[in-house]
Structure formats: structure tokens, C-alpha cells
Structure 1
């Protein structure tokens, strides 16, 4: 008799499990996002279920990642091998994630396929993001949001590459915008990202920051934190001008003007994820200044 996947133990993953995690993602027609998985397995904790001995394929048959923030946990990369789907394995993985989260508020980005399960487990929808992709055609000089390569922009705005000296200011800027402390994750940003830029006021105060990082066939822009839309566009223009691959940008529904601006500059798409929370009425922080997540897997 075949072994039931519901009786198999859930174990913690290590970075040595990266090849198996990528195989599981590919089994679900997800991209083999090795760069992102390395970050997730370092900054968070991966959990997985190994295939039973009588499984002809082997490897992982289920997985998820739990990323901790003070008072919050983010669940991502929830995967079940196709040959084991519709047997309750996804629910088992999510119940394990909830149990591991303790009293913390849990949040995630749900596809349409996953949303019914998350609703069953007590998650509620609080928003949505749309993934836009394409070659970035640049900013329109007539709109006042083109920025010189030397970092000096119009209207007193300056965008430049970040340095190590910027990290304390970047963290101070980020904390009220994200809603909780993500120092550990942001400290990994300089090595994870291809480029990290900051916007700076004439008095030297940081007014925003953004990063771009490689992900298989695209350059992802995120996170983006800025004091206003114009500063966010400046940061995006700065990073987009340097990208050698098409851009990917995950834009929140609560920033329709930014979405329109991105579409007018070459990006398109309609793939959506629902933002869901369990244990609170909404995500923390200030959405008016949070223009892009680190990634949809991290918030």
C-alpha cells in the first residue's frame, strides 16, 4: 500500500535542500529562482516533506518558508508536488506554518488557487498586487521625473547609489513604513541586490530607497520606500535605466497612479496575488510610502 503523505514528518530545510526546492518549484511550473530561494532559506526557515520511499520521483513533495519579523510571520513558497496534490498536504503544511508562528500575526500573498485554503484557515483579504513586466522605456522629461546619471535630479531631489553609511538612515526610514523592524533582512540587501539606491534631500536626509535584484529572466525592483510618488518614480527610473533585463514590478492596488506610470513606460501584465492576513485586520505600516515589497514572498 502506498505511504500516505499526511503521515510523513515535516522537517526544517537547509541551504543544502536548495536543489530539491528548485525541483519542486519546477514541478509546479514555477521558475527556478535560486537567488531568491537562497535568501529565503537564510533569512527565514524553510520546511519540507520528503517523498516516501515508494515514491518513484523522490525529493521534496511539499514545502514552505516562514520569514520572521517582530510580531509577524510571512508565509511563502507554499508548494505541493503535482503527484501528491488534492490529498490535504497543502492544508497540513499551512497548519504547520500557523503552529510555528505561535501568537504572531501571519500574512502571505495568495494566488487564486491557494486563496480558498487560506480563507478556510482564517486568513482574510486586505489588498492585492499586480505583477508588471517588460523593458523599461525610461521616464518622460516633460513630467520632471528624469534623473541624471550623476544622481542630481530636478526640484532638489537627488538619487544616488547607497553606501554603507546610509544603512542607519535607511533602517530608520523603513521601520515606520513597513510597520515592524526588518533590520536582519535589509542588512542582506547590499549583497542580495545588484543595485541599491537612495533618494536624498538637500539637507542630507534620506527620503527614500530602492533596490533591484536578478531573478532568472527579469530584474526585480523592490523594495521601494519613498516619501512620495515622485521620489518613488525617481528611484525606479534610476534603477530601471541600469537594468539589462526586462523589469518586474509588483505594484499594490493602492498605488494606481504608479501602476499607470509603469504601464506607460513599457511594463504590462495582469497576474495578481491577494494579500491576506491572519490575526489582524490589515498589514502593518504606511502603504502611502511603501511602493513595492522586497518581494511578494517577503512583503
Structure 2
């Protein structure tokens, strides 16, 4: 008589620094572009849970808090050998609990959409991924680089208005990763964009601006110094930037659905808005 199959016992534990290598292995197996440095940046401003089979990381999920009002649920991966057993739901539920009373935002693939809908998330809009090798882009004259120490408070204030929550720790982390470009009106910073290394190349975002023309100029300014390099940009579908990005060598290459859980209040029309995300994970 055949012996019954032995299944590994999987436990859920806090996501600690020594789990980063296991998380990186998971994301590589799933075809994600993230480097260890990319994982570490997000983990450094987040709380999380890992699923462990012995000492092996077989699942991850993070909750990135934005003050006491909002959070991003992200980096949810389950090892292929563990799928179909409810582990993704268990990890997602665990980090939703970490969020407490905060609104939760995430981005979902078509595979993940049914689970998140069951957990109370509602689709809000599409996120489009544009990436490729940058072509020739002319440099606008109304944009310049700025030292983060001189501008971080203004950048944080603009982002808070556009995003609807305080993401100060995120911008502190971004300032360590790469420079900021800004548009000024007199002495005042009225729009900004960040760029940093990511995956096999670089990423641009977030881009926060008063209008599409400022957003276009910020992106063009950054891309003008990256001809021949691989760059990724994630945009809300309503940004209206797709045709521009395609013309600069960054074709549309898939995307995800933005979702929210526990959102409160009436949608506002702020003076500035987000034209490019920091990342799919962070909004």
C-alpha cells in the first residue's frame, strides 16, 4: 500500500531582514524584475509577513503605512509549489490586519483580482506599464535637478496633496536612491519627478504635477539623459501620457488594476495630481 504524501508545514512569521534573500528568489522565480536593493527599499519602510516551510521562504506580503490613514499592500508572492492552498489569502489577510483602520490600496493582476474582491477591495482604475530602451528626447528648459536636502519638504507636501496621504518615509528613501527634477514658479516648486535604479535598468516616478504639460516636461527632462538605457514608467490610464512614452521608445507592456479597500470620503480634485507612480507596489 502506498504511503500517504507528506506535506510541509507552513508557518506565518514577521518579515525580517534575513528573509530578503528568500523573497528575492521567489520574485525571480515569478519573473519579477526586482533586485535585492529594490526589495530592501520597500521592506525598509514597511511591515510584513512571510510564509516559511522550515527555513525556506515560500510566500511574502508587505504593508507599507502612509501615516495613520492609508497603506499599500504589496509584494504578495506565493511559491508555485504552495499555490492553490489558500496561502495567498492568508498572507494578504495578515498584512491587512497590520494596516488596522487604514485605507488599503494595491495593484492586482488578473489572477489576483478574484481574491482581492473577496477580501473587500474595489477596482478603481487601470495602471499601464511602459518600458523599453529610451530613444532621443529633447531637453526642456523649464526643468532642473535639485538637491533633495533643499527641496524634500516641498516635494513631500506636493505628494501629500496628490496622493491623499503622507508618504514622507517613502520620499526619504527615494532621496537616497536617486535625484529629483522640479518645475518652479518663481521660488516655489510646483511639480517634481524622481528617478532611481530598478531591475535591469531604471524607473521614473513618482511624477506629481499641476497639469499634463508639466508632467511631460519632467519626464522628457529625465529621459533626455538616458538615451539607449532601459527605463520603466508606470502610469494611471487617465494620465494621457501613453502616446508620448511610446514615441520616446517606451511601449505599453501590460499593466495591472488599482484597487482600494476601506476608502472614505468624497473624491477630491487636488491642485496637483500623480501622473506617474513611484511603483506598482507603492502607488
TM-score (norm 1): 0.86
Structure 1 residue 132: Cα displacement: 0.6
Structure 1 residue 213: Cα displacement: 1.1
CA RMSD of the aligned region, Å?
2.1
1:180/1:284 contact within 8 Å kept: no
1:38 maps to which residue? 40
Counterparts of 2:73 and 2:86, CA distance in 1:
18
1:297 maps to which residue? 281
2:87 maps to which residue? 89
2:50 maps to which residue? 48
Q: Deviation per CA, 1:97-142: give whole Å up to 9, x if none.
A: 22222211111010111111101111110001110111222446xx
2:76 maps to which residue? 78
2:216 maps to which residue? 233
Matched, 1:164 2:149: yes
1:143 maps to which residue? none
1:117 maps to which residue? 115
Q: Deviation per CA, 1:62-111: give whole Å up to 9, x if none.
A: 11111001211211110100011111111111111222222111110101
Counterparts of 2:229 and 2:47, CA distance in 1:
30
2:204 maps to which residue? 221
1:23/1:32 contact within 8 Å kept: no
1:252 maps to which residue? 236
| Equivalence map 1:140-155=2 (5 Å) | 146-147=139-140, 153=141
Structure 1 residue 39: Cα displacement: 0.7
Matched, 1:265 2:263: no
Moved more, 91-100 or 114-123: 91-100
2:126 maps to which residue? 128
> How many residues are treated as equivalent by the alignment?
276
Going from structure 1 to structure 2, the CA distance change for 1:103 and 1:63 (only over 3 Å counts) comes to same
2:64 maps to which residue? 67
Structure 1 residue 293: Cα displacement: 1.2
1:129/1:273 contact within 8 Å kept: yes
| Equivalence map 1:182-201=2 (5 Å) | 182-193=167-178, 195-201=179-185
- SS of the aligned residue for 1:75 comes to strand
Counterparts of 1:31 and 1:169, CA distance in 2:
31
TM-score (norm 2): 0.90
1:126/1:283 contact within 8 Å kept: no
2:49/2:94 contact within 8 Å kept: no
1:217/1:245 contact within 8 Å kept: no
2:63/2:96 contact within 8 Å kept: no
Unpaired segments ≥5 residues, structure 1: 53-57, 141-145, 148-152
Unpaired segments ≥5 residues, structure 2: none
2:182/2:189 contact within 8 Å kept: yes
1:15 maps to which residue? 17
Structure 1 residue 59: Cα displacement: 1.5
Structure 1 residue 185: Cα displacement: 1.3
2:143/2:218 contact within 8 Å kept: no
Q: Which one has the bigger strand percentage?
A: 2
2:130/2:253 contact within 8 Å kept: yes
Structure 1 residue 161: Cα displacement: 3.0
- SS of the aligned residue for 2:205 comes to strand
Counterparts of 2:64 and 2:8, CA distance in 1:
28
